[in-house]
Structure 1
């Protein structure tokens, strides 16, 4: 095994481990509300948009509707989210947070803000650089996936 192979394996493991740790970190807060990280991300998207369609959330999270539809249905069952027919386009539905969800979500965001302050603190510039690098890495990996899936 070459040094390059070992480096690549270590990079993949590091990204995987960081992802796992962030999920664990969020679960400390979200577990109390019986939410998964993906459910939280859906709620966050709806909160940022005010009202939005499933298609917008799918685009923002880079996920397919068949992945997010069950997530949204579960959030509706738990009374976090409601859906209504769009006024602008009667063919589609818009999602929005329920009144009780607005309050609960604010509590969640306050708890997460405290975690973010501990993690980032006064090192915003450092984490901005890491974020930019991660976006670049994500783009590279997505491009490679696209290339591999389009090979004949």
Structure 2
């Protein structure tokens, strides 16, 4: 399973890091995980996975529909969104720990993030793996910020209309 944080949250790894006595189970059930953008196909039932190659075939709009459908099937009203920038194609963002191809571009990541956040189900999100040491001129920082700002701007508008 890609991502040590996801592995630990689903109960894979050292007992000291995966055992939560008060909870009595892993923090996240495999059935509730939706992993998007891996470049290698790894079968981990019952984790729902969409590889970068599959995304290229079905497109971002269809991917968003399928992810939302899975959330509805599982009855998940609140989810956490982890954005690992490794999902971007290395031609777009090489300043990550695991650059590769194929991958999303910034507009695709923005569209997907906006679609998911727009469901009202995303309780929070984190962004990981931008490595400024691999970007000494800071050329990639602004496109990352622009991507996130574009994706999340509709939420600010929604909040303003509610107030």
Same fold by TM-score greater than 0.5? no
TM-score, normalization by structure 2: 0.25
| TM-score, with length taken from structure 1 | 0.26
Task: Decide which structure has greater helix share.
Answer: 1
